[in-house]
Structure 1
């Protein structure tokens, strides 16, 4: 059978039409500021020294926005430092692009002026774990984030799970869902080499099992498939192994990527990861020179799956996984009808019972 035949399926036709209707994404990543009000243990931003690039002035910001619009950029992932500290700069981007923002949740991004902004609110475990990793052992950041984004339709929790903390997944997800929020998972890379139950070298098998359980319990609230989860945590997709040679979210203008670009594997030709000075870029969205073996970044792996569409055309099962993952990225970022996406989410999970292309 062919893609044309597969799209006779009403669900697949609807997902495909929604993505096609929204159009292609020409994206960049931007550090809004080099300042943060937390020092999370294992945050790539400070571990990689990205804060050494000073936040640009207002004139540079205006010039940058105009330049990126002229270049054809239509979607921006806003990261930090902490974007909620500079709402005026965030407003400038919101007025110019479709975008998504990542925040630690301590300061609420107001609805007024940011009515349709997708907000990924960080949580790194249950209250004790999150306090240890993000709150310096003292601050209950998770509770503050729950309070700030209760029943906020813009917000989802971006839950970074460590390998040895799978037993916390159901409780954390239950709290987020009860708070009126959906959940997208991310995976801890242990950039400070604390080891033990934080070490990615022990694998994420128990975490995958826990995620599969919460998908069954809350199919209306989990924003990734079991297939994407396995691709991220095993680093395998159709015989390809995750790493710099295969990552698709590389800065197309950065000299460290010249060999990567020449190897013929798919990558986002438009993408650039800009530092807070808005003048320089780095190797990729989450790294300056870190070992890619420690990268389990869900945002980057979304791109890996999406840009490898051709590999997913060998079977209907594979195509469904690609289409579901692509649609969910559009849904998370409010690029398709969010009410329809909410209705379709349980059926998407029912139709994607496992990873295609990974062993």
Structure 2
């Protein structure tokens, strides 16, 4: 127990001063129910000067940021900014759709988002075939972990994905799709489908969870963990919590905002937009509906401190320690000394598809 407790303290220390950095406002995909492009999306006037990004990240490093989350539409389209950051933060986590390989010199954890294995499922949920590219780009990459966003429509792909990850030396973990305010409004108002982020959903068939589908995930994940113990990085205790019925958080009845989610921009947490100005986002995914949110980022960050239920007995506390160890494996890698930053001139990135409009 003492070894597990020491490991938990080590993991939690890595996140003692986190910040989100939006490094890209364009993307090359059209994911159904997109987390980023919302109804009220207003393009940020991005800072283009690489030297300004270096100065900004240097100041953030001096401020003592220990964990940098690189987000946006698609951070892999702005790799010069990732290079600029890499010399200033001890830990980093990059969220990417996997279609563009991130330079091996960038020493941070890479969460490669996957939404489906079957070509039809992949295309329907993301607007294009992405799965094969993601596997080819990151097979055997020690920085990468496959982040499978579970939805009601892709649960049948999960076992096949675990097998493919095993065969390509890629760890696998899970996210649960969480609807945004934009997505729920379109469902509730019966809005017609479009050609971008609301192509296939309707009131009868959509990505939102119900008790039956939550139960399916709750029973499926432990079986897969037994079958692929060296591949799947997850926790049965966390899975039980994330698939429980009803809201996972204490919701303020007046604002609808979660009062106890640790992905909130309160305390030490900060969110900076691509103009380098601090944003007023409520959390790292500001359009998400708190009462429906099961997103892995908010869920795992809310486990940093044990709650009453985690302290009721030795077994519960041991389960909490196991969750923190798993959290570390998902979000952290042991980084070598950062390489010097340098400007990246990548015409292939500059010519990527323009940022889609919501």
Cα distance in 2 for residues equivalent to 1:92 and 1:200: 39
User: For residues 166-181 of structure 1, what are the structure 2 equivalents within 5 Å?
Assistant: 166-181=155-170
* SS of residue in 2 equivalent to 1:163: coil
- Partners of 2:16 and 2:43 lie apart in 1 by 29
The TM-score normalised by the length of structure 1 is 0.77
Alignment of structure 1 residues 275-354 onto 2, 5 Å: 275-281=273-279, 282-288=281-287, 290-308=288-306, 311-335=309-333
Once the two structures are superposed, the pairs formed by residues 62-211 of structure 1 within 5 Å of their partners are 62-97=54-89, 98-111=91-104, 113-114=105-106, 116-127=107-118, 128-134=120-126, 136=127, 139-191=128-180, 192=183, 193=187, 194=201, 195=203, 196=205, 198-202=207-211, 203-211=213-221
For 1:250 and 1:152, how far apart are their aligned partners in 2? 31
Deviation at 1:118, TM superposition (A): 1.0
**Deviation digits for residues 291-324 of structure 1 (CA, Å, limit 9, x no counterpart):** 2123221011111111345652331122122212
Gaps of 5+ in 2: 188-200, 252-256, 337-358
Return the offset for 1:224: 1.6
Q: Superposed, which structure 2 residues align to 1:217-256 within 5 Å?
A: 217-234=227-244, 241=250, 244-252=258-266
* Aligned-partner SS, 2:224: helix
Misfit runs of 4+, over 6 Å: none
What's the CA shift string for 1:205-263, capped at 9, x where partnerless? 112222111111111222220111222232779x96465122121112xxxxxxxxxxx
| RCO higher in structure (CA 8 A, sep ≥6) | 2
SS in 2 for 1:250: coil
- Whose helix fraction is larger, Structure 1's or Structure 2's? 1
Report the CA distance between 1:81 and its aligned residue: 1.3
Cα deviations by residue, 1:76-128 (Å, 9 ceiling, x for unpaired)? 111121111111101111121120101111111121x22x3211111112222
Q: TM-score, normalised by structure 2?
A: 0.77
Question: 1:172, 1:250 → 2: CA distance?
Answer: 31
- The structural deviation recorded for 1:39 is 1.6
Q: How far apart in 1 are the matches of 2:260 and 2:24?
A: 29
Change (3 A) 1:231 1:120: same
Quick check: 2:249–2:261 contact (8 Å CA) kept in 1?
no
- Kept in 2: contact 1:250–1:273 (CA 8 A): no
Query: How much is the aligned-residue C-alpha RMSD, in angstroms?
Result: 2.6
1:305 partner SS: coil
> Per the alignment, do residues 240 and 145 of structure 1 end up closer, same or farther by CA in structure 2, a change over 3 Å counting?
closer
Using the alignment, how far apart are the partners of 1:232 and 1:79 within structure 2? 23
* Mapped partners of 2:96, 2:76: distance in 1: 7
| Number of residues of Structure 1 aligned to a counterpart in Structure 2 | 306
Gaps of 5+ in 1: 1-5, 253-268, 339-359
